[in-house]
Amino acid sequence: MRSIPILIVLAIALSSLAATTKTSATRERTVTINVKDEDVHAIMATMQKQCAVKNLVIDPDVQARGTFVFHSVPCGMAFKVVLQSLGLASVDYGNSVITVGKR
The pLDDT value given to residue 26: 65
Angle (CA) 87 91 52, round 5°: 100
Q: How far is it between the farthest Cα atoms of the chain?
A: 75
Residue among 74, 81, 95 nearest 43 (CA) = 81
pLDDT one digit per residue (tens) for the chain, 103 residues: 454 544 444 445 555 555 544 445 568 899 999 999 999 999 999 999 999 999 999 999 999 999 999 999 999 999 999 999 999 999 988 867 888 888 8
